[in-house]
Amino acid sequence: MPLHSPRTAELAATHLILHPQEIAQCMAAKNWADLHALAAYLATDVPPAMAQTDPAMYRLLRAGVTTVQIMGYGQLSPAALAQLAQPKS
């Protein structure tokens, strides 16, 4: 499964942040593209500009990021997941 476009990656990452119980299911299904999107989002964190444009969503995502990191998924490596997501040739 190839990596997602930037918009699709953001949607996948925010979905997993808001529904952290689905992260383990992604791992079991070997959905590397979604996991890569999550790891990349966690590495860059919630955009600070969102605090001005959509404060409620910013607070919700910040709380979700904290929860996901406490669960241990903050250790996911975007580079390793990108390799796994690339189709084998």
Q: What is the pTM of this model?
A: 0.90
> Domain containing 24: what range?
6-85
Does 1 map to a domain? Answer: no
pLDDT at 86 over 90: no
Within a domain: residue 42? yes
Tens digits of per-residue pLDDT, 29-74? 999 999 999 999 999 999 999 999 999 999 999 999 999 999 999 9
Q: Cα dihedral sign for 68, 71, 75, 79?
A: negative
Total of domains in the chain: 1
* pLDDT value of position 88: 72
Cα torsion 59, 36, 11, 74 to 10°: value is -10
Q: Give the model confidence (pLDDT) of 17-29 as tens digits.
A: 999 999 999 999 9
Span 6-21, average pLDDT: 96
